[in-house]
Amino acid sequence: MIFITAKFRVRPEHADAWPQLSAAFTEATRSEPGCLWFDWSRSLDDPSEYVLVEAFRDGDAGGEHVRSQHFQDARRELPPYLASTPRIVNFEVPGTEWSELGEMQVDGS
């Protein structure tokens, strides 16, 4: 799978509205056949920073995502709300699911 984590620094005046501002992009991406997950979290240290954790089945699915109309729309519509260019880490990793964190095993899980 293609595993991507990106950090988005949103302009402070738009930070609370970011989930709504990015909702159409998020919903459209989640509906892609090759999308495994597409999840936003807000930083505990910086309320204007959102972290996106996303994964796609393979490189072809990732390419389809980048070529999609909703991705092109997001490239045009979302940057005015951002304070800086998002930062990204992108890797190809084996599998298509999350693994358990063995160092914190919970009984009965």
Under DSSP, the state recorded for 80 is G
| Residue 98 located in a structural domain | no
For residue 59, give the 3-state DSSP assignment: helix
Q: Does a structural domain hold residue 80? A: yes
Q: Is residue 81 part of a domain?
A: yes
How many domains would you assign to the chain?
1
pLDDT by residue (tens digit) across 20-48? 999 999 999 999 999 999 999 999 999 99
90 three-state secondary structure: strand
Is 82 inside a domain boundary? yes
Task: Give tens-digit pLDDT for 64-91.
Answer: 999 999 999 999 999 999 999 999 999 9
For residue 42, what is the domain's CATH number? 3.30.70.100
Residues 34, 63: contact at Cβ < 8 Å?
no
pLDDT at 82: 98
Asked, for residue 96, whether it belongs to a domain, the answer is: no
Residue closest to 87 by CA, chosen among 57, 63, 52, 56? 52
Mean pLDDT of 49-56: 98
* Structural domain includes residue 108: no
Inform me whether the pLDDT recorded for 108 exceeds 80.
no
